[in-house]
Amino acid sequence: MLADRLPEDWKRELRTVLASPSFLELERFVAEERESATVFPSEEDLFAAFRLTPYQDVKVLLLGQDPYHGPGQAHGLAFSVQPGVPPPPSLVNIFKELESDLKLPRPKDGSLIPWAKQGVLLLNAVLTVRQAEPNSHAGHGWEDFTDEVIRAVSAKSEPVVFLLWGRYAQKKKKLIDAKRHVVLEGTHPSPLSASNGFFGSQPFSKVNKALRDKGREPVDWRLPA
């Protein structure tokens, strides 16, 4: 069962959606897909974002849409690829902006695990995908689950910074209590849109300023170079 792999702290926060007909149907769908096709990420990595970023530690939520659909890429963290895997185009653009914004050296690979361990929840709206078929698992129940994740983070008493890149992510703004938390919206880093507002947007320094303004520790965005 999918829920068996979710850490206990997150299970408590998400118990209502985990017991819903939508989630039970999702479990059946993903099990059938894994039997008939290659599905990413692996079962072991499915809930990596939740394992690396406990509920009580979340201070930033960065929302992606769909896992990478190439072999060896997706490992349960939005925008991140497994250590040693070359960064895909969107992640290359993220690293370009990181370098420009904070004058940090370009990372040697595409793993964002150090961010996750500091309280940056790297959440995709859909958590699985068929190999070579982007968005193939959209509309099968993951959105109900991850919407509830966003609501649960919004319910935290400590202020959180929500980073929403692109129109898809920005539609989730309605799930967030913007009076208590900070919502930063921006252009998606994909090659199709990065030059239309992502480059030069300084999202990393803006997140850290928002955290400091709320009395929280900033994120150390450095990655192994």
What are the structural domains of the chain? 2-213 (3.40.470.10)
Residues with catalytic function: 66
d(CA 93, CA 90): 5
| 88 and 69 Cβ atoms separated by less than 8 Å | no
Please report, as a single letter, which amino acid is at residue 164.
L
| 211 and 161 Cβ atoms separated by less than 8 Å | yes
d(CA 116, CA 50): 9
Global confidence as pTM: 0.98
User: What pLDDT, on the 0 to 100 scale, is given for residue 205?
Assistant: 98
CA-based angle 122:128:132, to the nearest 5? 110
User: What pLDDT, on the 0 to 100 scale, is given for residue 118?
Assistant: 98
pLDDT tens, position by position, for the chain (225 residues)?
899 999 999 999 999 999 999 999 999 999 999 999 999 999 999 999 999 999 999 999 999 999 999 999 999 999 999 988 999 999 999 999 999 999 999 999 999 999 999 999 999 999 999 999 999 999 999 999 999 999 999 999 999 999 999 999 999 999 999 999 999 999 999 999 999 999 999 999 999 999 999 999 999 999 998
Please spell the DSSP secondary structure of 83-95, one letter per residue.
TTSPPPHHHHHHH
Q: How many CA atoms lie within 13 A of 136 on its CB side?
A: 18
Q: How many CA atoms lie within 13 A of 186 on its CB side?
A: 23
DSSP H helices in the chain: 8-13, 15-18, 21-36, 48-52, 89-102, 113-116, 142-154, 166-170, 203-213
| 81 and 68 Cβ atoms separated by less than 8 Å | yes
User: What pLDDT, on the 0 to 100 scale, is given for residue 1?
Assistant: 87
